[in-house]
Structures are given as C-alpha cells and as structure tokens.
Chain A
C-alpha cells in the first residue's frame, strides 16, 4: 500500500438545468508516497474539479477514488470531513487564514476538529509545525502583520500540523511575487525531501518545473503524465538570485 492516491475512471458531471457539463471524463491517476506532483492545465481543463475531488471537498459522479488505502467515493459528508481532517492538508491561493487570529491559533485549527483523540497537545504540535516552516519567531503575529510569503508559510504549517498523507496545494503561488514563489517552492521541495507527499495544482510552467512529475489536464482528461526533465532546485535558484542582486 504505497499509493497515496489511486483513481479509476473518475468522472464528474455537473448538471445545470438541462445542460450537462462534463468536468471530468474518466481520470485514472495514481500517486505514490513521497511524490511531488504538479497538476497543470488551463482554466476549464478540469484541474480544479480534480483538485476538489482529490481533496474530498466534492464527490465524484462515477469512478473510484482510494486515498491512502481508503475508498473515499460514496462516503457521507461527515466521513469526508473526518478524512479531510485526518489525511489531507490544504494550501490555498488566497492563503485562507482566519483574520484577527494569531499564526499559532490558525495552525491549531485543524487539531480542534480532530476526533481521533490522538493529538493531545495542539499547542506543541502547532508550534513545531510553525518552526518547521521557519516561522518560530512569528507565533503571535496575526495574518495582517505578516507578508504574503509568511502567510503562505502559516498556511503550509496548518496543512502539515495533522501529519496528513497528502498536502494539496491549489495555486499556492498565485498571489506571490517571483522571489516569494521560489521561496515557497523551496519549502515544498524541502518538505518533500522529508517524505511529505505533495500535489500542486498550477497553471504556471515555472512552478511545475520544481515538481518531480507533471500531470496535464485538458477537457476533463489527462493528456500528459510524465516525470519532469531538467527539474529545478528552488534552493539553488534562490542562491543565484541573491548573487545576481548582490552583483
């Protein structure tokens, strides 16, 4: 059981009035433990729908989906909520942190909804997660007191705090400048080196270049699924950028 994600002919059809919109037309996707996958595609390609299904935020119309060895399709709302809480970590484009709430409290949030009873010390776990993303000094800062890159780090810490099987990032760099984008990608690469399985949904090839594998969607189907050649190292890119600005 080394697969984190395994889908077979995953299909999603939206019905609006008499129209049927086929957002996903049968997606077979398998992602193993420890992978760093970029899902690419233009808007309307179905990548957001796939992301919602993978994130257990929505249920497929047909097909099967196994997440970390658990059949997820067909589960009820509350079971999906529990799966999201236990097995998934989300990073969003707009950071989606709670305003007027400290970094520490934001990171603690998923643990408050934990029903397994295993996460006994939310504060310690949240502190550790923030240390891991390099924000040990910013525990008591509110989102408004943090830069965009720092806010996204808090969001990443929130995704990591439950030790999920999969971290799902939806356009995580969409609101960030180039420099911060590379910083965040460096963090993702670093976490991936430590064994975290990460799926990044993006439309930017520059971002996908930091992944190990690229899956490209078009019209609800996977049209390309291959390892990344000439994979970029975000840490080294940061060094070169620093040297360039120094010179």
Chain B
C-alpha cells in the first residue's frame, strides 16, 4: 500500500473520533508545550547572561591576584595582594598582542552632588579602561592621559550616579565630592544595564587610578588588572603572554604554580551559563516526564482502539490486507497523532513563551533545532507507544476478528 493512502486512512480514522483523538493528543500537546516553554525560558536566561558578559567587552582579559599557596594550603583567589602598578607597566611595555591595559582600584564611598548624596563604587582606572570596556560617554568625555599622570581630581559618572546626583541636569562641568574631596565631572557614561550577576553596572564613578591612590585609598596593591586585545582571536595568545610576563616578574620557578589568575570573557560566560544549563536541563527533564505520560496515553487509547475495531481489522484482513498493512495502519495512526499533538504543542509552546515573556519581562529564546526535535520526538513517542498495540492488531486471525462482537 502506498504511504499516502496509509496516511489518508489514518487521518480519516482520527477524524472519525475527534474527541478521543484530542484527548489522546492532550498529553503530548501539554508535554511538548511544557518542554518548549521551559527550554525557551532557560535559553533566554543564558542568552541574557551571554549578552551581559559581552557587554563588558568581548576581548577583555581579567587578571586577579591569588591562587597563592601557603605551605600547600590554597588561599583562593585574591588572597594575596600581589598585583602592582609595575605589573601593569610591564604588560603595557612588553606584551605584543595586548593593546590596552589598566589597573582597577575599587572602593566604596559616599558621593555628594548637587541634589544629594549616593553611596557607590569608585573605580580608579587608566584611560585604557574606556577602550577595554568599550564604554562610550553620553555627555562630556573620558578623562585624558594627562589627567592620570598629573593626578587631577576629575570624575566620570555612571548613568545611575548621574541621575541620582544631578536629576534632569547635565553634570558635566559641575562638581561632586568624594569622601569630602571635590572632583570635577568631565563626562557621563552611556548606560550598560545589569551585569551578569544582576548588579547595576551604571552605578559607578570612574576616576584616575593615580588620584585614587593619592587621595582616597593610599594602598599600593591592585585587586584587578584589565587588558584587551585588538581582536577576539588574539585573546588566548595575550593570556599566555601575560602569564609569562607575570611569572617572570615574580621569579616563579618552573614548578611553582601561578599566584595570579588570568581569565577571559568566555571563562566567565561559561561559569555563569553553567548554572542556568543545569536549571534548563532540570526543567526539560520535568517536562519530558509529561511527554512520557502523553505517550502512555497514546498507547492506552490505541489498545482500546484495537479492541474496539477488531471487526474492522477482520474486514480488512478478509478483503486482502496483510498483517503488515494492519500494523502499518495502526502505527501510522499513532505517529500521526504524535506528530499532530507535537505540532499543536509546539504552537501552544511558542504562544506560551511569548506570553510568559510579555508578562514577566523574561527573555525567551525558541531555537529552531528544539522545535524540530520536539516534533520529531513526539513522532517517535507515537512509534514507540503505538508499536505494541499495532502488533496486537496485526496478529489477529481474520476469522476470529470477524466473529468478534
């Protein structure tokens, strides 16, 4: 028998029992819709994290002190304050692939402006910071190299800080006080939004690291050095280069472990995505259980259907259908139900994730691969759970099937 005829017979038989078919498919529909929504939410979270991390600058390399070992006991990252301005200078002078490098000194402080005061993060950085973070100013400009060398008291405000201290007015040219030291505002940064960890990256004030050291903190070690390369492809080479330079400056022996950590954005992204991946898998696993239940529903109905249609099977066998024809017919029927349920579930899933995204503000991402897999999987559920009832139908003896009341 031709496949088209088989599909026609199967669809006819499904259409003749619309209510029953709909109830059978309901399990698959709910299962597929659940999988689609869950994975869409998971993928959405991941892509948001990825976007936020890219927001930091894709070619960025983060150097932190630490992983120092004292008598075999690892102190963890940042345990040892061992990065210095000399390291920054060495990287700037000697690294070939690194195009920008800046120290980052961090301190929390109260900032007083025209309209009030605000506690925020003060970052002491070099001018390269703007290049590395790829961060434009929305007003004014970033401070200049001369500002850094001559330790001028100039500040660039993050969007949030600017809004808090100078609501409705342009802060450029005005004055803020950081720990009671007056600073001239030279620029306002363009908004960047949330960071990967959920904090506000615009809640920051940037000042020259020289000024920071002289006026605010006085500490000589650096918690962080940022560097970047001209292109993303150069990042691994730059990391190696930095590692060699820093080991050199520390006179580390061949067998000594690094007492600093050099990471790139991908490392950060993978770490952050790892947790959402687990979450997505978990959600998908739960949703898959409902698919399984849906499959059992199909098997249940198909078994009832075989019993109910014993006479029909007898008629078909009597007029010349082979066992394999009957097998295929019932199998196609359950596959059609599976695929149809999958398609309806897919449509509901897409609508569901759009609605969810609309009402919760979560980003949802529906991957075409997932859609294909979901529909194919529901077809496979049809084959798997339809095979046993179909075999049962095909094994019927025509005489007994015809006599069945």
A105 to chain B, nearest CB (A): 8
B309-345 residues with Cβ-Cβ distance < 8 A to A are 311-312, 314-325
* Chain A contacts for B318, CB-based, 8 A: 55, 57, 84, 90, 96
B398 interfacial contact with A, CB 8 Å: yes
In the complex, how many residues of chain A place their beta carbon closer than 8 angstroms to a beta carbon of chain B? 26
Interface string of A65-106 (1 = CB under 8 A from B): 000000000000110011011100010100011111100010
A105 vs B399: C-alpha distance in the bound complex, in angstroms? 23
**Docked complex Cα distance between A94 and B317 (Å):** 16
Residues of B within 8 A of A233 (CB): none
B residues near A85, Cβ cutoff 8 Å? 319-321
Known: A90-B318, A97-B315, A110-B320. 12 other contacts (CB 8 A): A57-B318, A57-B398, A57-B399, A81-B322, A81-B323, A98-B312, A101-B12, A105-B12, A109-B319, A113-B316, A113-B320, A113-B325
Q: Which residues of chain B come closer than 8 Å to A109, judged between CB atoms? A: 315-316, 319
Sample (14) of A-B pairs whose CB atoms are under 8 Å apart: A57-B402, A78-B322, A81-B322, A82-B322, A84-B319, A86-B320, A90-B319, A98-B312, A99-B312, A101-B12, A105-B12, A110-B320, A112-B1, A113-B316
Q: Which residue of B lies closest to A58 (CB)?
A: B399
Cα distance A193–B323 when bound, in Å?
36
CB neighbours (8 Å) of A99 from chain B are: 312
- Cα A109 to Cα B5 in complex, Å, equals 11
Chain B 1-54 residues near chain A, CB threshold 8 A: 1, 5, 9, 12, 16
> How far is it, in angstroms, between the C-alpha of A97 and the C-alpha of B319 when the chains are bound?
11
Which residues from chain A sit less than 8 Å from chain B, CB to CB?
52, 55, 57-58, 77-78, 81-82, 84-86, 90, 92, 96-101, 105, 109-110, 112-114, 158
Closest 3 CB pairs of A and B: A85-B320, A110-B319, A113-B320
A113–B316 Cα distance when bound, in Å, is 9
SS class of chain B's interface: helix, strand, loop or mixed? helix
> CB-CB contacts of B183-219 with A at 8 A, as 1s and 0s?
0000000000000000000000000000000000000
Kindly name the residue among B315, B316, B323 whose own CB sees the greatest number of chain A CB atoms within 10 A: B315
A114–B320 touching, CB < 8 Å = yes
Residues of A within 8 Å of B399, CB to CB, are 52, 57-58
Whole-angstrom distance between the Cβ of B130 and the nearest chain A Cβ: 75
Contact for A113 among B12, B16, B319, B402, CB less than 8 A: B319
User: Would you give the shortest CB distance from A48 to chain B, in whole angstroms?
Assistant: 9
Indicate whether A77 sits within 8 Å of B323 (C-beta atoms), given known contacts A98-B315, A112-B5, A113-B1. Answer: yes
Q: Which residue of A lies closest to B9 (CB)?
A: A112
A109 to B319, CA, bound (A): 8
Report whether B16 and A100 are in contact in the complex, using a CB–CB cutoff of 8 Å. yes
B402–A96 CB distance below 8 A: yes
B325, closest chain A residue (CB): A113
**Cβ–Cβ < 8 Å partners of A100 in chain B:** 16
A84 touches B322 (CB 8 A): no
How many Å lie between the Cα of A52 and that of B320 in the bound state? Answer: 14
Complex formed: what's the CA distance from A7 to B404 in Å?
A: 29
For the complex, what is the distance from the CA of A55 to the CA of B316, rounded to whole Å? 14
B312 — nearest CB in chain A belongs to which residue? Answer: A98
0/1 per residue, B70-105, Cβ < 8 Å to A? 000000000000000000000000000000000000
Tell me the complex Cα distance, A64–B181, Å.
116
Determine which residue in B5, B312, B319, B402 has the highest number of CB atoms from chain A within 10 A of its CB, and name it: B319
> Measured between C-beta atoms, what is the minimum distance from B185 to chain A in Å?
81
Complexed CA–CA distance, A81 and B1 (Å): 13
What is the chain A residue whose CB lies nearest that of B2? A112
Shortest Cβ distance from residue B400 to the other chain A in the assembled complex, whole angstroms: 10
> Are B320 and A81 touching (Cβ within 8 A)?
yes
A84 B320 Cβ-Cβ under 8 A: yes
By a CB distance below 8 angstroms, the chain A residues around B5 are 112
Contact between B322 and A96 (Cβ–Cβ < 8 Å)? Answer: no
Q: Please state if B322 and A77 are interface contacts (CB–CB under 8 Å).
A: yes
Known: A57-B398, A100-B16, A112-B1. A82 touches B320 (CB 8 A): yes
A158 touches B319 (CB 8 A): yes
| Min distance, Cβ A55 to any Cβ of chain B, angstroms | 7
Closest approach, in angstroms, between the C-beta of A107 and any C-beta of chain B? 10
Q: How far is the CA of A85 from the CA of B318 in the complex (A)?
A: 8
Which chain B residues border A114 with CB–CB below 8 Å? 320
CA distance in complex: A46, B322 (Å): 27
Contact (Cβ within 8 A) A81 B315 = no
Question: CA of A92 to CA of B404 in the docked complex: distance in angstroms?
Answer: 13
CB distance from B170 to the nearest CB of A (A): 77
How far is it, in angstroms, between the C-alpha of A55 and the C-alpha of B12 when the chains are bound? Answer: 29
- Output the residue of B16, B318, B322 with the most chain A CB within 10 A: B318
Residues of B within 8 A of A55 (CB): 318
| Inter-chain contact A92/B402, CB cutoff 8 Å | yes
Docked pose: A98 CA to B9 CA in angstroms: 12
Q: Which of chain A's residues have a CB closer than 8 A to the CB of B320?
A: 81-82, 84-86, 110, 113-114
B261-278 contacts to A, CB under 8 A, are none
Q: B316 near A96 (CB under 8 angstroms)? A: no
Q: Which residue of B lies closest to A51 (CB)?
A: B399
Bound-state CA distance A97–B318 (Å) is 12
Name the residue on B nearest A168 (C-beta): B318
Output the least CB separation between B333 and chain A (Å).
14
Of chain B, the residue at the smallest CB distance from A100 is B16
